[in-house]
Amino acid sequence: MRGTLVNVVAVLLGSGLGLLIGNRLPEKIKKVITTGLGLSTILIGVQMAFKAENVLIIIMISNQRKHGEDLLRHRPPLH
């Protein structure tokens, strides 16, 4: 529960900060920040994958996600 609250507060603070100063930053700085955050997210994901006890589950989940996206992309239109 504490982790969820910390996450909510961090998202709210980050969003507010982005709204306040986001328009004042040059495009190059925005791109650097976005790229840095993306790379950090990938690094955290890779670290967590290496710490996982059962890597097969991670592979199955990512594979299922890929096939799920394929199914959604090729589904027939709703009438």
User: What is the mean pLDDT, run by run of 10 residues, along the chain of 79 residues?
Assistant: 91 92 90 91 85 72 61 57
Model pTM?
0.53
Q: What is the pLDDT of residue 53?
A: 73
77: tokens are: 């239109």
For CA atoms 59, 60, 61, 65, the dihedral sign is positive
Instruction: Decide: 46 and 55 in contact? Cβ < 8 Å.
Output: no
